[in-house]
């Protein structure tokens, strides 16, 4: 139940949905908190790395790569558009309350950011990305704008808002290209 948030999702609910009993859970995890940490480390982090970092390492052009991920933003199991981004959801909820969560989630954000920045830097070396672009700054802004777009879309339930935001994101990315390169 990553619809109602971590705190509001009761263990009994989680357990019955997963067809697991409480004994089994507490045999593997010491507390609900530990379970949450494992979800961050093994599910959310893996998803971000797969989708944004590893995929960009193979891309020939970072900007085309980012645009492609953006376009394909729908079809991923368990990542419903109307429920927002699990990484940001958890971060918003738990960061002010639990330093362990905050540190883990911050780490994921940092890996994400570094992955994009690295790809942009490679793009600069290849002459695909404008040389006056600060890769880290652009990565931060891109992630912020994307997460914000997902947040608004989650709230609005209206595709218009998200389409507008996606258009804005796409044109931001295109503005990073070296002028005249496609």
Partner DNA sequence: ATACATGCATACTGGTTGGTATGTTATGGA
Partner DNA sequence: TCCATAACATACCAACCAGTATGCATGTAT
Contact track, DNA, 134-163, x by CB under 7 A: ------------------------------
Q: For a copy of itself, what does the binding mask look like between residues 100 and 119, x meaning CB under 8 A? A: --x--xx--x----------
Closest listed residue to residue 102, CA positions, set 174, 3, 6, 4: 6
Q: Which of 145, 84, 83 is nearest to 113 (CA)?
A: 145
CB atoms near residue 145 (< 10 Å): 15
CA–CA distance from 131 to each of 1, 55, 61, 64, 127 (Å)? 44, 23, 15, 17, 8
Query: Shortest gap between Cβ of 16 and DNA (angstroms)?
Result: 10
- The 25-64 site mask, x for binding DNA (CB under 7 A), equals -xxx-xxxx-------------------------------
- What distance in Å separates the CA atoms of residue 173 and residue 176, rounded to the nearest whole number? 5
165 with 153: CB under 8 angstroms? yes
Residues of this chain that bind a copy of itself (CB under 8 A) = 3-5, 7-8, 82-84, 88-89, 91-93, 95-97, 102, 105-106, 109, 134, 136-138, 140-141, 143-149, 151-152, 154-157, 161, 164-165, 167-169, 172, 175
Residues of this chain that bind DNA (CB under 7 A) = 7, 9-13, 20-24, 26-28, 30-33
């Amino acid at each position: 139940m990553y619809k109602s948030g971590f705190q509001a999702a009761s263990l009994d609910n989680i357990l019955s949905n997963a067809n697991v009993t409480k004994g089994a859970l507490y045999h593997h995890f010491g507390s609900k908190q530990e379970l949450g940490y494992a979800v961050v480390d093994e599910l959310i982090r893996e998803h971000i790395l797969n989708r944004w970092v590893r995929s960009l390492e193979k891309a020939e052009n970072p900007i085309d790569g980012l645009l492609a991920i953006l376009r394909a933003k729908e079809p991923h199991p368990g990542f419903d558009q109307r429920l927002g981004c699990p990484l940001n959801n958890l971060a918003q909820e738990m960061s002010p309350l639990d330093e362990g969560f905050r540190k883990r989630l911050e780490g994921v954000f940092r890996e994400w950011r570094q992955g994009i920045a690295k790809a942009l830097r490679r793009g600069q070396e290849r002459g695909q990305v404008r040389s006056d672009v600060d890769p880290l700054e652009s990565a931060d802004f891109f992630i912020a704008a994307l997460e914000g777009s997902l947040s608004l879309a989650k709230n609005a339930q209206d595709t218009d808002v998200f389409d507008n935001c996606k258009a804005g994101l796409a044109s931001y990315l295109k503005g990073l290209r070296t002028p005249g390169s496609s």
